[in-house]
Amino acid sequence: MLFTGELETKGRDEMRDITREIISVVKQSGVQQGTALIYCPHTTAGIAINENADPDVKRDVLMSLDEVYPWEHPKYRHAEGNTASHLKSITCGPSQTVIIQNGHLLLGRWQGIYFCEFDGPRQRQYHVKIMEG
């Protein structure tokens, strides 16, 4: 089963919790044992799994990525001016795989699945492939 989710990001950098959407896709699939692959088809965004209890974690992650990859740098040459977004996307990665056990995502107690925007605001998509087995 393949599902495509759509979202509109609001800021330049944003971590949007999509855990509930992924849980819904897993339930709709009926798969009891398998995996869910969550994939981002964009070069300036990514998918991450991290804490979803304290919103300060998202703020701290985005702040730290800005420190490592500043929006402007005198050596950046990319004509679109969004090199930092590409670097953040590479660091975050385009996908995550989560085990499905007894029809539920096998996430840790504090874990959530995030769509990470690094060049917004934009209309974005992500894909979820549910595999049985």
Torsional class of 43: left (φ above 0), alpha (ψ -120 to 50), beta (otherwise): alpha
> Which domain, by its residues, includes 23?
2-132
3-state DSSP assignment of residue 2: strand
Sign of the Cα torsion 16, 20, 22, 24 reads negative
Q: Residue 92 corresponds to which tokens in the numbers above?
A: 């975050």
Q: Residue 116 corresponds to which tokens in the numbers above?
A: 């990470």
Nearest 5°: CA angle at 132, between 130 and 133?
140
The closest alpha carbon to 57, from 118, 119, 111, belongs to: 111
Query: Greatest CA separation found in the chain?
Result: 52
Q: Residue 117 corresponds to which tokens in the numbers above?
A: 């925007």
d(Cα 46, Cα 36) in Å, to the nearest integer? 16
Torsional class of 52: left (φ above 0), alpha (ψ -120 to 50), beta (otherwise): alpha
Domain count, the chain: 1
Q: What is the CATH number of the domain that holds 21?
A: 2.60.120.460
pLDDT for 83: 96
pLDDT for 33: 98
pLDDT for 72: 87
User: Which portions of the chain are predicted below pLDDT 50?
Assistant: none
d(Cα 103, Cα 91) in Å, to the nearest integer? 30
